[in-house]
Copies of this chain bind each other. A is one copy, B any other.
């Protein structure tokens, strides 16, 4: 039983269409409001050495990333904090606040609870024009597969390359890029928080086509042997880059630093250099 199999249990209860994208969506005046929630906690997400401020920052960042991946502008954040030590609260809240402020988001509510380990649940709300919204479904054979930034850097820290600490501890959600890409008319988009490979499999399950990745095009973390760097980029978790598909004549998009890493193909398979892409990455195994 892994995370994605467990999601099937939820789909059976709330409906499959409520589990397809990084955010839910509903009408709000003439726009679309998107909404998403994320639970993070000490033993899994806030790794050893991460400060309370960074835990707060990260909690806000992962949620803003989900909003960015819909092409939306994040507006509001609610934050529930479960504390094993009340003295953590101030720094956790300040970290979340600083991240929100950087990306134009306001903390509008929350809850405080006692817990046996630091647990933070952030719920984000964003707005996007109907015509600019990006979803996982909608890609088309011949489209380019692209990614922002350099994938694999967060996982590199976990694998001992501690020069990448900032990428894991203080992720920078692609809020501006997400909105520019939405307006540019990407055909599909999501963030790659569980790694490129799993993201492509998620995109494949929402589309009736596949992906051919060219490893030579992948931007890789610097200073790491090539084979390991490729492994980190394809299968590592903890990044908050945007992975998207777009018609060739719409790329590049002004203001967005992104790299073409492959193409969308008619057959429903994911390959890297012609060989099957493994379906693995960051996900919890349930006993």
Chain A: number of interface residues, binned into ranges: 35 or more
Contacts of A110 in B (CB 8 A): 10, 14, 37
Contacts of A97 in B (CB 8 A): 13-14
**Contact A286 B109, CB 8 Å, known A76-B24, A78-B37, A80-B38:** no
A113 at the interface (CB under 8 A from B): yes
Contacts of A14 in B (CB 8 A): 93, 97, 107-108, 110
| A12 (CB) vs chain B CBs: closest residue | B90
Give min CB distance, A217 to chain B, whole Å. 32
Cross-interface CB contact of A113 among B36, B39, B112, cutoff 8 Å? B39
- State in angstroms the CA–CA spacing of A219 and B7 once bound together: 45
CB pair B43–A116 under 8 Å, yes or no, is: yes
A190 at the interface (CB under 8 A from B): no
CB pair B112–A7 under 8 Å, yes or no, is: yes
Contacts of A161 in B (CB 8 A): none
Contacts of A80 in B (CB 8 A): 37-39, 121
Segment at the B interface, from A25-33, A173-181, A201-209:
A25-33
- State in angstroms the CA–CA spacing of A21 and B13 once bound together: 32
The residue among A24, A40, A83, A108 with the most chain B CB atoms within 10 A of its own CB is A108
> Copies per complex?
2
Give min CB distance, A106 to chain B, whole Å. 8
Give min CB distance, A11 to chain B, whole Å. 10
- State in angstroms the CA–CA spacing of A9 and B112 once bound together: 11
**Contact A109 B35, CB 8 Å, known A6-B89, A114-B284, A121-B80:** yes
A148 at the interface (CB under 8 A from B): no
The residue among A39, A89, A286 with the most chain B CB atoms within 10 A of its own CB is A39
Cross-interface CB contact of A1 among B30, B86, B121, cutoff 8 Å? B86
Cross-interface CB contact of A79 among B6, B37, B108, cutoff 8 Å? B37
A111 at the interface (CB under 8 A from B): yes
A273 at the interface (CB under 8 A from B): no
A44 at the interface (CB under 8 A from B): yes
Cross-interface CB contact of A119 among B1, B82, B94, B284, cutoff 8 Å? B82
CB pair A10–B115 under 8 Å, yes or no, is: no
- State in angstroms the CA–CA spacing of A33 and B108 once bound together: 12
Contacts of A3 in B (CB 8 A): 112
- State in angstroms the CA–CA spacing of A9 and B86 once bound together: 10
A125 at the interface (CB under 8 A from B): yes
